[in-house]
Structure 1
Amino acid sequence: MSQPQDQDTKPPGKVSRSAILGAIFLMATSAIGPGFITQTATFTAQMGAAFAFAIFVSILIDIAIQLNVWRMITSSGKRAAQLASSAVPGTGILLSVLIVIGGLAFNIGNIAGGGLGLNALLGVDPKLGGLVTGVLAIGIFLFKRAGRVVDTVVMVLGLGMIILTVIVAVVSEPPVGEAIRQSFLPDTVNFATVTTIVGGSVGGYITYSGAHRYLDSGKTGPENTPSVMRSALSGILVTGVMRYILLLAILGVVASGVAIDLSGEVANPAGQAFAAVLGDAGMRIFGAIFWAAALSSVIGAAYTSATFLSAFSTRLEKGWPLQLATVAFIAVSLIVYLSIGTAPATLLVFVGGFNGLILPIGLTIFMYIGWFRPRLLRTDSYPKWLLIIGTAATLVMWYTAVQSIGPIFAMIGIGG
C-alpha cells in the first residue's frame, strides 16, 4: 500500500496525482482484503444467496459513510482525531483509542490471513506463515523505499485476484437471478453478518485511511470537493463490483453442492471454493494473491492506526518516531496472534464484526460536526442530503451493532 513518506522525492504535481490514486487504492484494497474475502466465503457458505442482502446493504452504508468522511476530512484539512477534538474536546482521544484497538484487531486478523495464504500456497503451518508475514512486514517498513515495490506488486496481484475471481464466478455458474432477488428481498436477515461485513470493509482504520491519504495531495478545502467526491465514488465502485463478483464466485460453488469446511485450524473457506473450480493450481494461485493482500494490509493497517497515536504525542506525527511506532504495532499484533489459539479464518471474521461495533461511535461524532459545527469544515452549511444519508447509516449501524454484540463475541468463545 502507498505510504505517505514515499512522496517527498517527487515533483509537486506528481505528489498530488500519486496521493489521489493512493487514496483510492488504499480504500479499495483495504475494503477487499483478506478479512472481507474470508467473511464473504464463510457467510455465503452458511447463508447461500441470502447473504447478497448483506452485501447490498454494506455498499449503501459504505456510500453514506465514505462520502461524508472523505468530504469532512478534506474540507477541514485535518485528520479525523484533530477534527473530532476541535468539535468536542476529548473525542479525538476517544476516537484514537478505538481506532488503535480496532486496528490491532484488524492487524492480528491480517497476520492470520498471511498464515492462511502461505498455508494455501506452500502448505506450511498457519502459525509459521503468520510469523513470516509479520517479520517480513516489519522488514519492508524499515526500508521505506521498498514500499513502492510493494505497491506495484500488490496492484498487479490485486488485478490477478479480480481476474481469477471473475473466472471462478463464470465457471461456477452461480444463480445470478436468485442473488439479485435476495439482494432486495432476502429469505432471512442476519444482523451479525451485516455488522461484520460492513466492519470488515469500512470499519476501524479503513473508514479514515483513504481520506487521510488524500490529505497528502494538498487538494484540501471546500473548493476541491468535486475531485474528492469523484475519488471516493471511484473507490466505492471498485469495491462494490468486487464484492458481488466474489459473492457470485463462492455462491456458484456452494450452489453446485460442494461442501465448504468452516471448522479446524487450517480452514480456508475462500481457498476451498477456488480450489473446487480450478483444482490444486487454483488453490496455490489463490494462496499467493491472498498472502500478498494480507501482507499489504498488515503494513497499511499498522501505519494508519499509528497515525492516530499522534493524538497522544505530536512526536509521532512523522519520521522515525512514527515508523518505530508502526513497527511496534506490527510486533504486538504478531505476538498476540502467535499466543492465541483461535483459528485464522475465525479471527478474520471476528475482527470485521468487532470493528463494525466501534464504527457507529466515530460516525456519530462526524454527524454532530456536520449538523452543528459546519464552520470546522470551512463552510457555513454542509449539504443536507449527505447528512441525511450519513445519519441514516449511523442509526442503522447502531442498531445492527446492538443486535449483534453477542453473536460476534461468541465467534471466539466469549459470551453467548
Structure 2
Amino acid sequence: MIKKTHSAYYGAAFLMATSAIGPGFLTSTTLFTSKLLASFGFAILISILIDVIAQVTIWRIITVTNKPAQVIANELYPGLGNFLSLLIILGGMVFNIGNIAGCGMGLQVLFGIDLATGALWSAGLSIIVFLIKDAGKAMDWFAKILGMIMIVLTIYVAFSSHPPILEAIHKTIVPDQIDVMSIITIVGGTVGGYITFAGAHRLLEAGVCGSDNLKEVDRSAFTAIGIASVMRILLFLASLGVVMQGLSIDENNPAASVFQLAAGNLGYKFFGIVIWSAAVTSVVGASYTSISFAESYHPLIEKYKRYCIVAFIIVATLVFVFYGKPVKVLIFAGALNGFILAFSIGIMLVAATKKRIMNSYTHPKMLFVLGGIVSVLLFIFGGVTLFNELQKVIG
C-alpha cells in the first residue's frame, strides 16, 4: 500500500511536470533567452517562486477536500465550477493542438516523415495509453520514462553549448532588464490553465486525500515544480551558451536550432526526441486533465471517461491536420492559461476560507497571503498580456 502511494505521488509529479514541458515551453524559453540573454534567469527565478505558491496552494486544497477543483468551485458558488471547467477545457484544447504539432515535428526530425503523419502516429500512441486496462498506471510510467529522457538529453546539450554559468547566476540575481511578459508567459506555460490541476486530480484518482497526506502532497508538488524548473534552467543554459557564442537562433524553430548549434547533427536528433517526448506527454496530460473537468457536466462523461479522452485527442489532431499553423495559437494559449491560473488560485483561496468546504483544515496564513498576491498580479498582468496576444492572433 505504501509503495503504491509513493508511486502515485511521483506519478502525479511527473504528470504535472511533463504536462508543463511541451512545445510552447521549449519555444518560449529559447526565444526569451535570445532576447534577454542572461537576465532571463531572473524571470525563471520569479516564475519558480510563483509556481511553488500556486502549485502547493491548489494541490493542498483539492486533496484535503477530496474533491476536484470544479466541484469545489460549484460548492463555493453554483455554476462557478462549470465556468472554470469551460476555461480549462478551452485552454487544454488550444494547447493540445500545439502539442500534436510538436509530436509531428519530433518525428519529422527523427524519421523525415511529414508533420501530419507524425501527428497521427503520435495521437494513436497517446490513445493506446488510455485504452490500456490500468490507464492510470500506464500514464504514470509513460510520464516518468519520457520525462527522464528529456532531462538527460538536455543536460548533454546544455554542457555542449558551454554556457557562461557565473554570468547567468549573477544576472539572475541582478538582471539588466526585467520583462513582465516573459514572466507571465512562462508561468502560464508551466502551471497555467489545466497544468497545475493535472497532478492534483491524478492524486485524487489514486485515492490520495485528507490532511494526513499533506506532507507527501507538498513533496509531490515540489517535485513537480523541481522537474519542470530543472528542464527550464537546462534549456536556458543551452540557449544562452549558443547566443553568447554569437550564433544566430532560427526564430521559426528556435529550440531545434539551439540543439543543432550546440551539438551538431546529433544534437538535432536529440531535439527530435526531446520535443516529441515533451509533446506526447503533454498531449496525455492535457487530455486527461481537461476531461477530468468535463466530468462535472454529465455522469456519462465520468462513466466513459477514457473514451472521452480519446475523443479529445482526436479532435485536437484533426484541427491541427486541417488547420495547422500552431505557433500563434501556442503563444496565445500560454497567455490564456496564465490568466486562467489567476482565476483558479482566486477560487481556491476563497474556498479555503469556507468551513463548509474545508471542514477542519486551515490554510496557512503565509501561503494564503502569498497566493492572493500572486493571483492579483497574474490577473492584472495576465489580462494585459492576453489582450495583446489576442490582438496578434486576430490580426
Q: Same fold (TM over 0.5)?
A: yes
Tell me, in whole angstroms, the C-alpha distance in 2 between the residues paired with 1:293 and 1:144: 24
Q: How far apart are residue 110 of structure 1 and its match?
A: 0.7
Q: How far apart are residue 13 of structure 1 and its match?
A: 4.4
* TM-score, normalised relative to structure 1: 0.88
**Change in CA separation of 1:31 and 1:380 when aligned onto 2, cut-off 3 Å:** closer
Q: How many residues align?
A: 395
* 1:76–1:221 contact (8 Å) kept in structure 2: yes
1:4 aligned residue = none
SS at match of 2:394: coil
1:317 aligned residue = 302
Q: How far apart are residue 162 of structure 1 and its match?
A: 1.4
1:257 aligned residue = 246
* 1:93–1:312 contact (8 Å) kept in structure 2: yes
1:3 aligned residue = none
The amino acid of 2:365's aligned partner reads K
Tell me, in whole angstroms, the C-alpha distance in 2 between the residues paired with 1:98 and 1:186: 34
* 1:104–1:333 contact (8 Å) kept in structure 2: yes
**Change in CA separation of 1:48 and 1:123 when aligned onto 2, cut-off 3 Å:** farther
* CA displacement, residues 21-57 of structure 1 (integer Å, 9 cap, x when unaligned): 2111112222223321222112212332232222112
Tell me, in whole angstroms, the C-alpha distance in 1 between the residues paired with 2:143 and 2:59: 24
Deviates more, 1:219-228 or 1:247-256: 219-228
Deviates more, 1:132-141 or 1:47-56: 132-141
* CA displacement, residues 122-145 of structure 1 (integer Å, 9 cap, x when unaligned): 233323322332233234433445
The amino acid of 2:290's aligned partner reads S
Q: How far apart are residue 261 of structure 1 and its match?
A: 1.3
Tell me, in whole angstroms, the C-alpha distance in 1 between the residues paired with 2:128 and 2:151: 28
* CA displacement, residues 186-220 of structure 1 (integer Å, 9 cap, x when unaligned): 33333322221111110111111111111234332
RMSD of Structure 2 on Structure 1 (CA): 2.2
In structure 1, runs of 5+ residues without a counterpart are: 1-11
Tell me, in whole angstroms, the C-alpha distance in 1 between the residues paired with 2:145 and 2:125: 19
Deviates more, 1:188-197 or 1:136-145: 136-145
* CA displacement, residues 366-412 of structure 1 (integer Å, 9 cap, x when unaligned): 12112x3144222263211110111111112112212312432355x
**Change in CA separation of 1:405 and 1:84 when aligned onto 2, cut-off 3 Å:** same
Q: How far apart are residue 341 of structure 1 and its match?
A: 4.1
Q: How far apart are residue 99 of structure 1 and its match?
A: 0.5
In structure 2, runs of 5+ residues without a counterpart are: none
**Residue 391 of structure 2 is aligned to residue 402 of structure 1:** no
1:222 aligned residue = 211
The amino acid of 1:365's aligned partner reads I
Pick aligned residue for 1:184 from 163, 168, 173: 173
Q: How far apart are residue 149 of structure 1 and its match?
A: 5.7
Tell me, in whole angstroms, the C-alpha distance in 1 between the residues paired with 2:57 and 2:118: 38
Q: How far apart are residue 345 of structure 1 and its match?
A: 4.3
**Residue 343 of structure 2 is aligned to residue 356 of structure 1:** no
**Change in CA separation of 1:338 and 1:197 when aligned onto 2, cut-off 3 Å:** same
* 1:120–1:284 contact (8 Å) kept in structure 2: yes
Pick aligned residue for 2:311 from 328, 335, 342: 328
Pick aligned residue for 1:33 from 22, 25, 30: 22
Task: Write out aligned runs for 1:373-388 (5 A).
Answer: 373-379=354-360, 381-388=362-369
**Residue 40 of structure 2 is aligned to residue 51 of structure 1:** yes
Tell me, in whole angstroms, the C-alpha distance in 2 between the residues paired with 1:410 and 1:369: 34
Tell me, in whole angstroms, the C-alpha distance in 1 between the residues paired with 2:248 and 2:147: 27
Tell me, in whole angstroms, the C-alpha distance in 2 between the residues paired with 1:256 and 1:115: 30
Tell me, in whole angstroms, the C-alpha distance in 2 between the residues paired with 1:189 and 1:124: 41
Pick aligned residue for 1:132 from 121, 138, 147: 121
* 1:363–1:394 contact (8 Å) kept in structure 2: yes
